[in-house]
Amino acid sequence: MSRVVLLGLDGFPHRAISPGLTPRMWALAEAGGRAAAGGITDLPSSTDPGFCSLLTGCYPRTHGVRTTSWRYARLPDWAGVETPRVPTIFDACRTAGIRSTAVVGDDRGLLATGAASRRWPPNGVI
C-alpha cells in the first residue's frame, strides 16, 4: 500500500528547504514528489484560505473560507465562513475507507480534520 505525507508549513519559505539546511526533508521530497518551485497559494495569501484550498482542492469562492479568523472572533458576512463548506481530503479518505491521520497545531477546527481516522493533538491545540 502506498502512503502519502502531505506537509504544509505555514509561512515557511521555499528557499529554506535545501540539501544543506534540511537534508532529510529534501531527501524525502526527492524520493516522492514536490512542487519544484514551491507552493503557490490562492489570493488572498492567508493561512486559512490557503490550507482550505489545499485540503479541499477548491478555490476560496467554492470552499467559502476567504480570510484567516482568530479564536473567539466573529467573522463579518463578507469574510465567508470559518470552515470549508465542501468535503476535505479527510472526508474523501473516510468515504473510500482509507485511514488518514492529521497532525496539526492550533487549527481551531477550521481545517475540518474531524473526519481523519486519527488526529493529534485531539483538540487541535498544542
Cell digits for 45?
A: 495569501
SS3 state at 27: helix
The reported pLDDT for the residue numbered 72 is 57
Q: What is the pLDDT of residues 66-125, one digit of tens each?
A: 887 765 566 677 777 778 899 999 999 999 999 998 888 766 666 677 788 887 776 666
Instruction: Give the integer Cα–Cα distance in Å for 114 and 66.
Output: 21
Cell digits for 49?
A: 484560505
pTM score: 0.76
> Would you state the torsion angle of the CA atoms of residues 95, 101, 106, 111, taken in this order, to the nearest 10 degrees?
-20
Instruction: Find all residues with CB under 8 Å of 37, minimum gap 6, and list them.
Output: 14
Instruction: Give the integer Cα–Cα distance in Å for 47 and 56.
Output: 14
Q: What is the pLDDT of residues 101-114, one digit of tens each?
A: 888 876 666 667 77
Instruction: Give the integer Cα–Cα distance in Å for 34 and 22.
Output: 14
